[in-house]
Structure 1
Amino acid sequence: MFLSPVRQFVAWLVALTAMFVLVVPVSAQEEVREARYGDDNISVQLVADGMPVAGEEWMLALRFIPSAPEWHGYWSNPGDAGQGMMLDLDLPDGWEMGEPLYPVPDRLLISGLMNHIYEGMYAVLVPVRVPEDAEATGLPEVTGFVEYLACTDRVCVPQDAALNAGQGGDFTRWRAEVAPLLDASGYFEISSDRLRIAVPLPAAVDLSDPHIFIANERLVDYAAVQTFMREGDLLIAEIPLDDFGTKEAGTIAGILSFGDGAGVRFEAGSGDVPDGGKLIAGPIGMQTPPLWTLILGALAGGLILNIMPCVFPILSLKALSLARAGESEAKARNEGMAYTAGVVLACVGLGALLLALRAAGEQVGWAFQLQEPGVVILLLVLAVVITVNFAGLFELPSFSFTQGGEPGGAFATGLLAAFAATPCTGPFMAAALGAALLLPTGLALMLFAMLGLGLALPFLLIGLVPALRKRLPRPGPWMETFRKVMAIPMGLTALALIWLTVQLGGRGFGLFALVMLFGIVLALAIVGRLQRAGKMAWPAFGLVAAPFVIFGAFALPASYAAPGSQPSESIHEPIAFSDEALAEARASGQPIFLWFTADWCVTCKVNESVAIEREVVRDAFEESGVITMVGDWTVRDEEITMFLTDRGAAGVPLYLWYPADSGEPEQLPQVLTPDLLTERAK
């Protein structure tokens, strides 16, 4: 995620202050070497582990003891703010100080800034290499000087101390607390937006809440959600990069925290990191649900799509098709299976295309097809053609969406139903689709297939189970009237797509689309008149429609105008979402309600109408000082897509509530009520 100017300024100010108050010129240190600030808040002692032995490693320790529980110190890489320890030791000639060894740090998120800290007493071990010809006859005089920060949640105070090594201390405990170094090296690769690390770790190691602390500064986004996958004895982590950082590294070092205070140090060189693996922690939860629950979730989610508002217009196609299929058992069975094949194929195809685009580096999510103006124009043409066909303007003699018992028509209906239904995500399917974006390709495609099966399941059962089929009305003349009535919801669908066309490409774009549609409808009307007269009809369609289609092919791209990033016309006057805007809002310490929507998502618009934009909600938000923020995903937006992915969401709607002065947000249900929002504003 982007660091806002406020976050950058705070981090820069802390670092600059630390530099001025902590960093003393070397010459001054050599001359004075006296503490200027003292160690009243976090005291420090330098102790040695026994006597040094020539040719062996001798261990020293810096023991830090806070004066009160609210004070904390920092790891070598402090994170977004703070300052790491600066140590200078005076050792005998030829003796060499190694890299300090730290325990596994904790995380502290304050106003969107991630800090790597230690609370309570902690010890930093300092290995010293003693030369083989050293005269090690007792405890040598080792002095030094250390500078560090002592901080609470609200204030930071510089600390320093002159050191003089003594003996004592619980080195057995301190050695056990230091993260041990893995024997085997890992490897990493850096893409345009994230760091991927493969760490060799036995599969038997339990990871309750894994987190990687990267020692390289200005490389990763410390506050971002990290994703972890397992491939045998290999742990694969993905961490978003710092957008204002270096984005490059020769080697990477850090500490892998297991989540229970334990962890290991690792080093990694550049190399190929394998794809896939079992997701064990990340955006969709700290523990991935078992595969069988994801399968059931995708199945249930597809089933629920049949009653979701975004799917309602297509129900007319399915209802009419299944009603006609009641004419015979064989026809009903064939139509049910063909319809299911069309739905499943469409869902798997869209899923495969989504995974391929993401693998190629494209930032897309579920329902990405409705973010493309060309796809919306195609759907608009189909909706208009089906509407006028239902209305009886023309007939498709050998291939019809409404002709019962014809597998071809049922298959096409299934394709169209799935294509139109996929923009919405509902209960159960959200977690399954979020996992599908991270699972291996085979498992991901299986989840997309289960989604399609759930969407088609009611009609498949009616086609295969005679008892259910007998409950359908018997075929008769009424079906012709029913077909014409079904032109109404299809016509409303076409009107909604016309509105969406204007939202995507502007009024000129929508006007030229209407001109092209007029020509197509005119051509279909001529076809219908010729059909009723018993004459050859379809060549006339080509002659009449071709000029309008050619006009559209040239005029539509030329008139397309991408919409600006204007906020929604909500009564709450929300801020337009960006990572930068969100970071600024979180730094304010006020509660935040953030929602992601799209003009093609009917569920989103229903929630906005019945819950978000209600007067009672507005009053509650104003009284509590709630900051409202909206992310409009009508057209493709890489920043929004990346945020949705980091939250484990495959599409919209997504609703997040950030309490005042809190860390992780609460993800709200996908069906909102005014009471749900006002209760959180209290």
Structure 2
Amino acid sequence: MIVAVLWLGVLTLVGPATATAQAAPHIRATLLAEGPALPGQTVTMAVLMEPEAGWHGYWSNPGDAGLPLSLDWTLPPGAKAGELQFPVPQTLIVQGLMNHVYEQAYAVLVPVTLPADARVGSTLPVSARAQWLACTAQICVPERASLMGTITVGSGPKDTRFAAWRAALPARLDQPGRFEATPTGLALAIPFPASAQVRDPHFFIAAQGLVDYAAPQAFRRKGDWLIVELARAKGAMAEHPQSVSGVLSLGAGAGGLAITASPGMVPKGGTPLSGGTQTAFSWRTLALAMLGALAGGLILNVMPCVFPILSLKAMALARGNSRHARAEGVAYSAGVILACLALGAALLALRAGGAQVGWAFQLQNPGVVALLVLLATAITANFAGLFELPGLSVSRSGASAGTVGGAFGTGLLAAFVATPCTGPFMAAAMGVALVLPPVAGLAVFAALGLGLALPFLLIGFVPPLRRLLPRPGAWMDRFRRAMAVPMGLTVVALLWLAWRQGGWALMGAALALALVLLAVLVVVERQRRQGCRVVAWLAPVTLALVAAALLGAPRLAARPAAESAGLPGTVPFSQAALDRARASGKPVFLYFTADWCLSCKVNESVAIDREATAKAFAKAGVQVIVGDWTRADPAITSFLTIQGAAGVPLYLWYAPGAATPAKLPQVLTPQTLPDLAARAQQGS
């Protein structure tokens, strides 16, 4: 505190001279508005802080030293600025002092309410005198700037960067915590589902001078409570505050929770956490997660959401008498496992870097969806006999044209398309994989690939299983052509997904690319049959189409299609919407879905979007909230992480007055929701 006061004095004394002399601040500040707003409405402003390499800024409570960003606003008459909203900070110890800092670019958000009499179409100037402290591990420099911005009165598009900045804010916990004084400081009990995992937690307390920031924090788990013990600040008297608030960081890339706690009894005992990682982790935990992943991979072989993969396997398994059965089995398995490991490694790396992503993140990218349209089109054309695809081609006599390379490529494609629909038994395993140490997490992803590849691997190595397959013959050609029908339906489904993600522009672009590819493949097959070499021009054309899909499609997906209709009164997910619904005292049904998740759509058709469910919900007054994860949404990803879920579907039931939600099974029956609503109505 003494250091902070001294720096504040220096900043005040140097005054405007510092701003004049400092031509290049070490932290560049920019004032931005999210977009237009109507008179009387609130728009979010952002102060984007961009530190130079090696420099850092400070959280609202900077810790043992430092100064946070402060703003002195100049607003139009009738406008009002709210409190500064800081993202989740990081810890930095310098010479024994604990600092709560930001070492990368960060945005401080501020809600600004427009005057009720503002004229639509006008532009309102806003400005703020900002001051902050920029530091390295050796020196600190007080900095200030006059920030200028404008707000357009009206309606219009929003700045897409604000979604990520808003997701970096700590999520408000939907129930209060409890705290009590201890002989050495404070014990804080935070409501936290037992199924949710946490790695490297740290509690950033908002009050200054109450606890020793640099002292180790002891964490333990007790049921649905996460307990943290904080040491009293050196020299401070034992105090009994009326409330304790702060931010619980869940670890790098996992976000945080905004906590408010009132005096109350803190549970005793529980499972300690060491270094932020649960000591309850053991080889047994890893073994169970791998078994769950293996079972999920096996289920993928029969789930309708991976019918394109089943088509590929049906053609491959029909070649069971191939002399290369074992080699193809190993190659196919290697392709599947490698793809699962690559997807898992990319997911873990992105989360470690702070990105809010979850399992099946690749299907949230419109470019990947467009690429899958091209792949599905090529496979459909092959099954229809328009051209021969190496590794899948079967002659009319039944002789195999399969190769080891073709089997490996088939495995890669199978896993890439199949892994998003991990089935109802994969949620726990994927959730554990994301919080295990990286090597252990990759072992879980490898087990998923092994489960997906296991049937084909067994057929390759067990001759009696191969003998159970039908003998090769002319029927295989007819079977291949029949498989063109479901593959064609897959193309249609992917085009629908493109429309859902980016509207008619994205769907039209994907369809155009698919038609161009189809024409190219037909020409290639004709020239191949005439003995012409086509590789020289086919390769650049294919690369051009792939580049157009991956790079061009996202540019057309700025505005997704309108939401599909659900239950009456359904509202989109936000933490504020959930808070309002819970405060109403009515039951709340919160579910997360995505258009690329077939199991989600099956549940919606069978159990959610039904007249019986709608009537039962209406009688019980159930509030329905849906989170659409079709496209990347950092706020939804953060909420899923807090709930211990790696992806969708996720179904939560908030009973009136319940401290925590009930997590429903991932397979819903027609009576699951009506029964819950009936019990809630009887309880009221």
Residue 533 of structure 2: aligned partner: 536
Are 2:574 and 1:578 equivalent residues in the alignment?
A: yes
Residue 250 of structure 1: aligned partner: none
Residue 346 of structure 2: aligned partner: 353
After superposition, the CA RMSD in angstroms is: 4.0
Are 2:404 and 1:417 equivalent residues in the alignment?
A: no
Closer, same or farther: CA 343–552 of 1 in aligned 2, 3 Å? closer
Are 2:309 and 1:314 equivalent residues in the alignment?
A: yes
Are 2:478 and 1:481 equivalent residues in the alignment?
A: yes
CA distance in 2, matches of 1:187, 1:575: 32
Length-normalised TM-score, structure 1: 0.62
Match of 1:327 among 321, 335, 342: 321
Match of 1:391 among 349, 368, 384: 384
- Give the Å deviation of 1:254: 13
Q: Secondary structure at the match of 1:212?
A: strand
CA distance in 1, matches of 2:214, 2:484: 55
Are 2:355 and 1:293 equivalent residues in the alignment?
A: no
Residue 676 of structure 2: aligned partner: 680
Match of 1:645 among 635, 641, 647: 641
Residue 507 of structure 2: aligned partner: 510
Instruction: Indicate conservation of the 8 Å contact 1:574/1:629, yes or no.
Output: yes
Residue 14 of structure 2: aligned partner: none
Residue 501 of structure 1: aligned partner: 498
Instruction: Indicate conservation of the 8 Å contact 2:527/2:533, yes or no.
Output: yes
CA distance in 1, matches of 2:187, 2:540: 77
Identity %: 49
Structure 2 gap ranges (5+): 1-171, 189-199, 206-212, 231-240, 395-399, 679-684
Closer, same or farther: CA 220–179 of 1 in aligned 2, 3 Å? closer
Residue 260 of structure 1: aligned partner: 268
1:523-602 aligned at under 5 Å gives the runs: 523-539=520-536, 541=538, 556-563=553-560, 567-602=563-598
Closer, same or farther: CA 305–528 of 1 in aligned 2, 3 Å? same
Q: Secondary structure at the match of 1:428?
A: coil
CA distance in 1, matches of 2:346, 2:447: 17
* Residue correspondences, number: 472
* Residue deviations 1:70-120 (CA, integer Å, cap 9, x gap): xxxxxxxxxxxxxxxxxxxxxxxxxxxxxxxxxxxxxxxx994414268xx
- Give the Å deviation of 1:279: 6.0
User: What amino acid does structure 2 have at the position aligned with 1:327?
Assistant: N
- Give the Å deviation of 1:670: 1.0
CA distance in 1, matches of 2:271, 2:187: 5
CA distance in 2, matches of 1:456, 1:263: 38
Residue 90 of structure 1: aligned partner: none
Instruction: Indicate conservation of the 8 Å contact 2:294/2:447, yes or no.
Output: yes
- Give the Å deviation of 1:628: 0.7
Closer, same or farther: CA 412–640 of 1 in aligned 2, 3 Å? same
Closer, same or farther: CA 676–115 of 1 in aligned 2, 3 Å? same
* Residue deviations 1:48-72 (CA, integer Å, cap 9, x gap): xxxxxxxxxxxxxxxxxxxxxxxxx
Are 2:321 and 1:337 equivalent residues in the alignment?
A: no
Q: Secondary structure at the match of 1:472?
A: coil
Closer, same or farther: CA 616–333 of 1 in aligned 2, 3 Å? same
CA distance in 2, matches of 1:494, 1:179: 56
Closer, same or farther: CA 427–409 of 1 in aligned 2, 3 Å? same
CA distance in 2, matches of 1:280, 1:336: 38
Match of 1:632 among 613, 623, 628: 628
Q: Radius of gyration: which is bigger?
A: 1
Structure 1 gap ranges (5+): 1-109, 119-123, 126-174, 181-185, 229-235, 246-252, 267-272, 282-286
CA distance in 2, matches of 1:625, 1:113: 21
Match of 1:240 among 256, 261, 264: 256
* Residue deviations 1:308-357 (CA, integer Å, cap 9, x gap): 22112210101111111x223x4111111111111111111100000000
* Residue deviations 1:352-395 (CA, integer Å, cap 9, x gap): 00000000100000000000011111111111011101111112
Length-normalised TM-score, structure 2: 0.62
Instruction: Indicate conservation of the 8 Å contact 1:297/1:428, yes or no.
Output: yes
User: What amino acid does structure 2 have at the position aligned with 1:220?
Assistant: V
CA distance in 2, matches of 1:417, 1:263: 41
Match of 1:364 among 342, 357, 360: 357
Instruction: Indicate conservation of the 8 Å contact 2:591/2:650, yes or no.
Output: yes
Instruction: Indicate conservation of the 8 Å contact 2:292/2:429, yes or no.
Output: yes
- Give the Å deviation of 1:622: 0.4
- Give the Å deviation of 1:494: 1.1
Q: Secondary structure at the match of 1:327?
A: coil
CA distance in 1, matches of 2:564, 2:283: 34
Residue 8 of structure 1: aligned partner: none
CA distance in 1, matches of 2:454, 2:268: 44
Match of 1:219 among 243, 246, 265: 246
Q: Secondary structure at the match of 2:671?
A: helix
CA distance in 1, matches of 2:630, 2:362: 11
Residue 439 of structure 2: aligned partner: 442
Match of 2:469 among 447, 469, 472: 472
Closer, same or farther: CA 496–314 of 1 in aligned 2, 3 Å? same
CA distance in 2, matches of 1:541, 1:647: 48
CA distance in 1, matches of 2:441, 2:271: 31
Q: Secondary structure at the match of 1:242?
A: strand
User: What amino acid does structure 2 have at the position aligned with 1:219?
Assistant: G
User: What amino acid does structure 1 have at the position aligned with 2:569?
Assistant: E
Closer, same or farther: CA 256–375 of 1 in aligned 2, 3 Å? farther
